[in-house]
């Protein structure tokens, strides 16, 4: 079972130790150092030339046209004007086609979707769950044997979580009281807490909301969570409301994608996307170790996002949605069952994590970036990738495939804080720097795995650090049961400051912290 711990959570030997610290390099000889510097500038020069190839080609052509026109005498200019007069019909037809084509393009192009603002829920301090409190609580419940308690202790030590994550109210009681009423209380506190902050920051009115999308994987009561929000905020009777259940930690991106599609149909309106998970009724009280892992990682959290297709909202919006790419590997049986809710041998319900989880996540990621890469990467990176494939096919089958440099396409990365091993793997496979995964590691440390809302805590971290500038591109990437890998790409429309009532407001100065290995 220790091998399973290491596989899923990057155990003692995992590479996620000092996550944001400076990595010490072995000293290199001066010629090697100079060679690496030269190669760096050669690559930068190559990217600049290829990315600006059209401009570099047009400049000489424009210079030649200007030079030619400056050398034309008045008689030649008069002859050109007479020629155009005699071909008036051709000019008019071309103009009509140009105007018609432009009109069709403007009318049929996708409507821009703007992210006006968002808010993340931060639980009150009395709901904090330290390592000691977690272990003491688990021991006092009397549901876990010594082997299971020791297993949970090891997971906590290697998880990357800090001492200030939150449990719901019901799980602080001895014994715990995972009732339907307590689960509803948790859902209301999280959703309404995030929405209250969002509405206060944006001054949006209930009559302005035309679309509501709520996602929560494991808690789906009747009336639905979306109906609870409609009732609380008295949303209008024709609001398009949707409740997504059972879609895992990547459902936040799915909810955004659904809202985007609805905003293409319903013009001049706003959409609210609420992403959360519910712990109260989904705590595992058994001794199956693969089902104990979620107990150690999942914590209270939620987000509310305000989207708009109104052109007037562009001026106050933070971001514009650029791309959404969704990958589903559910046709494969192993992928389908790698995160699976079921009952153990004694009938206790929990979510089991397969030892193949990381390999399956890697395959889903590969498929996702294969689709995403061509639409976000500069042509220079695409040419290098294609050239490597050609060389590998024709000359050497053992050559390693070229890994595109995604830092040329994105300025910030919000990797789902599902666990330390997930962040480690993406940092290694995408060849990212510690600064690129800092937001993910610190979100995992401060708030734990908050499921589909974790990517919004990470974006809030980047903003709180003052790193978001106009024109910056953000890649949100999340994994979920099914098995799914989903990506959303946003472009900042202005310099974004630390949000009011943000989740990092009282602690951002403490971060980043050094994580133990």
* 441 token code pair: 């590691």
- Confidence (pLDDT) at 65: 66
- Confidence (pLDDT) at 303: 98
**57-71, 128-142, 237-251: range with lowest mean pLDDT:** 57-71
Residue 266 bears catalytic tag:
no
Pick the catalytic residue from 243, 278, 368, 449: 449
Residue 445 bears catalytic tag:
yes
The 10 Å CB-count burial string (b at 16+, else e) for 125-146 is: eebbbebeebbebbeeeebbee
What is the residue whose two structure tokens read 């808690």? 219
DSSP 217: S
- 5-14, 32-41, 98-107, 129-138 — which one is most confidently predicted on average? 129-138
Question: In the structure, what pLDDT confidence band is assigned to residue 141 with cuts at 50, 70 and 90?
Answer: confident
Secondary structure of residue 348 in the 3-state scheme? coil
- Confidence (pLDDT) at 332: 94
Please write the tens of the pLDDT for every residue from 105-128: 666 667 899 999 999 999 999 999
Please write the tens of the pLDDT for every residue from 442-487: 999 999 999 999 999 999 999 999 999 999 999 999 999 989 999 9
- 136-145, 375-384, 428-437 — which one is most confidently predicted on average? 428-437
**CA dist., res. 468 & res. 13, Å (int):** 34
Rg over CA atoms, the chain = 27
**55-69, 335-349, 386-400, 421-435: range with lowest mean pLDDT:** 55-69
Using the predicted structure, report yes or no on whether residue 16 has a pLDDT greater than 60: no
**CA dist., res. 379 & res. 52, Å (int):** 10
Secondary structure of residue 301 in the 3-state scheme? coil
Using the predicted structure, report yes or no on whether residue 186 has a pLDDT greater than 50: yes
- Confidence (pLDDT) at 11: 37
- Confidence (pLDDT) at 35: 44
Total Cβ atoms within 10 A of residue 363: 18
What is the residue whose two structure tokens read 């990381």? 358
CB hemisphere CA count around 477 (13 angstroms): 25
**CA dist., res. 288 & res. 391, Å (int):** 49
In this prediction, residues 85-100 reach a mean pLDDT of 73
Using the predicted structure, report yes or no on whether residue 56 has a pLDDT greater than 70: no
Using the predicted structure, report yes or no on whether residue 82 has a pLDDT greater than 90: no
Residue 287 bears catalytic tag:
no
Of the two residues 385 and 316, the one the predictor is more confident about is 316
Residue 137 bears catalytic tag:
no
For residue 224, give the H/E element and its range.
Answer: none
Total Cβ atoms within 10 A of residue 106: 8
Using the predicted structure, report yes or no on whether residue 380 has a pLDDT greater than 90: no
Pick the catalytic residue from 270, 282, 287, 445: 445
- Confidence (pLDDT) at 323: 95
% of the chain beyond a pLDDT of 90: 63
- Confidence (pLDDT) at 95: 78
Mean pLDDT of the chain: 85
* 454 token code pair: 């974790």
**CA dist., res. 302 & res. 273, Å (int):** 11
What would the DSSP string read from start to end of 386-426? HHHHHHHHHT-TTSPPP---GGGT-SEEEE--S-HHHHHHH
Using the predicted structure, report yes or no on whether residue 3 has a pLDDT greater than 50: no
Write down how long the chain is.
517
Pick the catalytic residue from 412, 414, 436, 486: 412
DSSP 268: S
**CA dist., res. 47 & res. 377, Å (int):** 11
In 3D, which of 246, 309, 360, 247 has the Cα closest to residue 111? Answer: 309
Q: What is the 3-state secondary structure (H, E, C) of 38-98?
A: HHHHHHHHHHHHHHCHHHHHHHHHHHHHHHHHHCCCHHHHHHHHHHHHHCHHHHHHHHHHH
Of the two residues 137 and 499, the one the predictor is more confident about is 137
The two beta strands, 270-276 and 240-244, are unpaired
The structure's pTM equals 0.83
Q: In what order do the strands lie in the sheet with 209-215?
A: 240-244, 209-215, 270-276, 302-308, 114-120, 319-328, 484-492, 473-480, 412-415
Pick the catalytic residue from 120, 278, 338, 416: 416
- Confidence (pLDDT) at 456: 98
Please write the tens of the pLDDT for every residue from 200-221: 999 999 999 999 999 999 999 9
* 515 token code pair: 């994580």
Residue 9 bears catalytic tag:
no
Pick the catalytic residue from 120, 216, 243, 249: 249
% of the chain beyond a pLDDT of 70: 82
- Confidence (pLDDT) at 155: 92
Residue 315 φ/ψ, nearest 5 degrees: -65, -30
Could you report how far apart the first and last alpha carbons of the chain are, in Å? 20
Q: Which residues contact 94 (CB under 8 A, 6 or more apart)?
A: none
In 3D, which of 337, 358, 375, 357 has the Cα closest to residue 429? Answer: 358
Secondary structure of residue 18 in the 3-state scheme? coil
Contact 277, 216 (CB under 8 A): yes
Question: In the structure, what pLDDT confidence band is assigned to residue 154 with cuts at 50, 70 and 90?
Answer: very high
DSSP 466: T
**CA dist., res. 364 & res. 372, Å (int):** 12
Using the predicted structure, report yes or no on whether residue 17 has a pLDDT greater than 60: no
Residue 412 bears catalytic tag:
yes
């Amino acid at each position: 079972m220790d091998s399973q711990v290491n596989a899923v959570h990057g155990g003692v030997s995992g590479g996620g130790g000092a996550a944001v610290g400076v990595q010490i390099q072995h000293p290199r000889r001066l010629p090697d150092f100079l060679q690496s510097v030269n190669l760096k500038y050669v690559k930068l020069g190559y990217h600049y030339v290829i990315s600006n190839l059209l401009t570099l080609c047009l400049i000489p052509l424009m210079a030649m046209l200007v030079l030619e026109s400056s050398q034309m005498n008045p008689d030649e200019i008069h002859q050109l004007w007479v020629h155009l007069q005699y071909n008036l019909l051709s000019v008019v037809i071309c103009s009509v086609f140009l105007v018609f084509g432009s009109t069709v393009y403007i009318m049929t192009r996708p409507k821009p979707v703007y992210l006006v603002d968002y808010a993340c829920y931060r639980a009150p301090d009395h709901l904090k769950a330290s390592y000691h409190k977690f272990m003491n609580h688990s021991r006092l419940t009397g549901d876990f044997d010594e082997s299971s308690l020791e297993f949970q202790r090891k997971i906590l030590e290697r998880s990357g979580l800090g001492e200030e994550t939150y449990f719901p109210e019901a799980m602080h009681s001895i014994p715990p009281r995972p009732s339907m009423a307590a689960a509803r209380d948790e859902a209301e506190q999280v959703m309404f807490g995030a929405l209250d902050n969002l509405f206060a920051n944006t001054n949006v009115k209930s009559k302005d909301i035309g679309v509501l999308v709520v996602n929560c994987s494991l808690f789906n009561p009747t009336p639905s969570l979306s109906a609870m929000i409609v009732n609380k905020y008295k949303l209008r009777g024709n609001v398009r409301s949707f409740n997504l259940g059972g879609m895992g930690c990547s459902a936040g991106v799915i909810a955004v994608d659904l809202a985007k599609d609805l905003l293409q149909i319903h013009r001049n309106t706003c959409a609210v996307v609420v992403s959360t998970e519910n712990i109260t009724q989904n705590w595992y009280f058994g001794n199956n170790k693969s089902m104990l892992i979620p107990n150690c990682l999942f914590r209270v959290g939620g987000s509310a996002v305000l989207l708009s297709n109104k052109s007037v909202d562009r001026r106050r919006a933070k971001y514009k949605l650029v791309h959404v790419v969704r990958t589903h590997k559910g046709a494969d049986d192993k992928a389908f069952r790698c995160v699976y809710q079921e009952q153990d041998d004694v009938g206790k319900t929990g979510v089991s994590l397969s030892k193949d989880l990381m390999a399956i996540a890697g395959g889903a990621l590969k498929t996702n970036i294969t689709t995403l890469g061509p639409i976000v990467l500069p042509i220079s990176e695409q040419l290098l990738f294609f050239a490597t494939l050609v060389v590998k096919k024709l000359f050497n089958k053992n050559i390693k495939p070229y890994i595109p440099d995604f830092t040329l396409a994105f300025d910030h990365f919000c990797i789902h804080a599902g666990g330390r091993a997930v962040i480690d793997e993406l940092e290694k496979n995408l060849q990212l720097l510690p600064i690129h995964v800092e937001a993910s590691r610190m979100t995992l440390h401060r708030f734990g795995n908050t499921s589909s809302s974790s990517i919004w805590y990470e974006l809030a971290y980047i903003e709180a650090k003052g790193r978001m500038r106009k024109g910056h591109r953000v890649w949100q990437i999340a994994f979920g049961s099914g098995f799914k890998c989903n990506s959303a790409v946003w472009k900042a429309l202005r310099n974004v400051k630390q949000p009011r009532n943000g989740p990092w407001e009282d602690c951002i100065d403490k971060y980043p912290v050094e994580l133990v290995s």
